[in-house]
């Protein structure tokens, strides 16, 4: 009888030890998942920022192409973007929409 009692106590102690290990591993896993989630958000933010910067650069290039196509006069006409002949006044923002 005493041998069975010793076995039960031993198994119970082992069960408690395994439960403690399980809880510790669960806490570590939860922390690791939280770090992964944070890293994913930072990565997505970086990708979005890079995409916005790339789009701004492309817009700038398109505006440059429009400016060349309309032969802007330096200082004359301001933001209206007159041609040298003084015809076809088109605001810069509107002209930029014409270029894809």
pLDDT digits (tens, 9 = 90+) for 50-84: 988 888 888 887 777 766 666 555 544 444 444 44
Note the Cα 41 to chain centre separation in Å: 7
The domain of 88 spans 2-98
CA–CA separation, 11 and 2 (whole Å): 14
Residue 85: the pLDDT is 45
pLDDT digits (tens, 9 = 90+) for 28-42: 999 999 999 999 999
Which of 82, 86, 57 is closest to 72 using CA atoms?
A: 82
How many structural domains compose the chain? 1
CA–CA separation, 100 and 86 (whole Å): 25
Residue 63: the pLDDT is 75
pTM: 0.51
């Amino acid at each position: 009888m005493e041998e069975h009692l010793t076995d039960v106590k031993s198994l119970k102690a082992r069960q408690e030890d395994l439960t403690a290990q399980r809880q510790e591993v669960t806490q570590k896993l939860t922390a690791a998942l939280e770090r992964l989630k944070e890293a994913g958000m930072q990565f997505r933010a970086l990708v979005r920022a890079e995409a916005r910067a790339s789009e701004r650069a492309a817009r700038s290039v398109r505006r440059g192409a429009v400016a060349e196509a309309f032969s802007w006069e330096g200082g004359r006409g301001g933001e209206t973007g007159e041609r040298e002949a003084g015809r076809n006044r088109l605001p810069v923002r509107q002209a930029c929409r014409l270029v894809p």
